[in-house]
Structure 1
Amino acid sequence: MDGFAFDREGLRLAIALGIGLLLGAERERHKGEGPTRGAAGIRTFALVALAGGIAMAVGGGVVLAAALGFVALAVLAAYVLGDRTDPGLTTEVAVVVAFLLGALAQREPQLAAGLAVVVTILLAARERLHQLVSRALTEQEVHDGLLFAGAALVVLPLVPDERIGPYGVFNPFAIWRLVVIVMAIGGAGYVAVRLLGARVGLPLSGLAAGFVSSSATIAAMGAKARATPGLRTPAVAAAVFSTVATVVQMVVVVGATDRRTLGELWPAMALAGVAAVAYGAVFGLRALRDEAADHHEPGGRAFEPKTAVVFASTVTVILFVSAALNDWLGSRGVLISAAVAGFADTHSAAIAVAGLAAAGRLEPADAVVPILSAFSTNSVTKMVLAAATGGKGFAAEVWPGVIATAALAWAGWGLGG
Structure 2
Amino acid sequence: MNLIVWSDELRFLVAAALGFLVGLERESRDGAITTKLTAGVRTYTLISLFGFGCAWLYKINIEFMVPVGVIVIGGMVLTSYLAKQKTGALGWTSEIAALLTFIVGVLSLLADIWIPMALGIFTTLLLSEKAGLEQYIEKLNKSEFLAVVKFLLVTVIILPALPDKDYTNFNLNPYRIWQIVILVSSIGFIGYFLMKKFGNKIGLWLSGLLGGIASSTAVSIAMGNIAKNNESISGRAFQATILASSVLYLRTLVIIYLVNAGFAILLWWKLVFLFFVGILLAVLIHNKSNDAPEPSISTIQNPFEIKPAVIFAFLFVLLSIVTIWVKQLFGSSGLVALAAIVGVTDIAPFILSIISNQIPVENIIGSAILISMMSNTIIKAIYFGFLAKNLRKQVALYFSCWVIVH
TM category (shorter chain) comes to 0.5 to 0.7
Matches within 5 A, 1:334-413: 334-337=332-335, 343=342, 344=347, 356=362, 367=363, 371-380=366-375, 393=387, 404=400, 408-409=404-405
> Between Structure 1 and Structure 2, how many residues are aligned?
367
Once residues 220 and 34 of structure 2 are traced to their aligned partners in structure 1, the CA distance between those partners, rounded to angstroms, is 49
Q: Match for residue 361 of structure 1? A: none
| CA offsets 1:289-325 (integer angstroms, 9 cap, x no match) | 2755x34344368x62488853772574255235334
Residue of structure 2 in register with 1:310 after alignment: 308
Contact 2:377 2:399 in 1 (8 A): no
Distance in 1 (CA, whole Å) between partners of 2:173 and 2:401 is: 29
- Residue pairs, 1:237-386, within 5 angstroms: 237-245=239-247, 257=265, 285=286, 289=289, 292=292, 294-299=293-298, 304-305=302-303, 309-310=307-308, 313-314=311-312, 316-317=314-315, 320-327=318-325, 329-330=327-328, 332-337=330-335, 343=342, 344=347, 356=362, 367=363, 371-380=366-375
What's the % identity of the aligned pairs? 14
Which whole-Å CA distance do the structure 2 matches of 1:237 and 1:311 have between them?
29
Correspondence 1:89-238 to 2 at 5 A: 89-105=92-108, 106-130=110-134, 132-133=135-136, 137-140=138-141, 143=142, 146-147=145-146, 150=149, 160=159, 162=164, 167=170, 168=172, 171-198=177-204, 200-205=205-210, 209=212, 216-219=215-218, 221-222=220-221, 230=229, 237-238=239-240
Once the 2 structures are TM-superposed, how far is the Cα of residue 71 of structure 1 from its aligned partner? Answer: 1.0
Indicate how the Cα distance of structure 1 residues 311 and 129 shifts in structure 2: closer, same or farther if over 3 A, else same. Answer: closer
AA aligned to 2:115 is: L
Contact 1:353 1:371 (C-alpha < 8 Å) held by counterparts: no
Call closer, same or farther: CA 1:32–1:150 in 2, change over 3 Å: same
Shift of 1:107: 0.6
TM-score in terms of structure 1 length = 0.65
Task: Report the CA distance shift for 1:402/1:152 in structure 2 as closer, same or farther (over 3 A).
Answer: farther
Greater helix content: 1
Relative to the length of structure 2, the TM-score reads 0.66
Instruction: Give 2:318's aligned amino acid.
Output: F
Unmatched 5+ residue regions in structure 2?
none
Name the counterpart of 1:57.
56
Q: Is the 8 A contact 1:17 1:49 kept in 2?
A: yes
Cα 1:62/1:154, change in 2 over 3 Å:
farther
Q: Distance in 1 between matches of 2:149 and 2:227?
A: 26
Change in Cα spacing, 1:289 to 1:323, as seen in structure 2 (3 Å) is same
Structure 1: runs of 5 or more not aligned:
357-366, 411-417
- Which string of whole-angstrom CA distances, capped at 9 and with x for unpartnered residues, describes residues 35-62 of structure 1? xx33222232122212222323323774
Distance 1:101 1:195, change over 3 A: same
* CA 1:44–1:317: 2 relative to 1, 3 Å: same
* Conserved 8 A contact 1:21-1:46: yes
1:270-294 deviation digits (Å, cap 9, x = unpaired): 8x987x6798679x656x62755x3
- Cα 1:177/1:289, change in 2 over 3 Å: same
Residues 1:251 and 1:48: Cα distance change in structure 2 (over 3 Å): closer
Q: What root-mean-square deviation, in Å, do the aligned CA atoms of Structure 1 and Structure 2 show? A: 5.2
Query: Residue 202 of structure 1 aligns to which amino acid in structure 2?
Result: S
Moved more, 103-112 or 50-59: 50-59
CA distance 1:376–1:354, shift in 2 (3 Å): same
Other structure's SS at 2:71 match: helix
Does the 8 Å contact 2:44/2:98 carry over to 1? yes
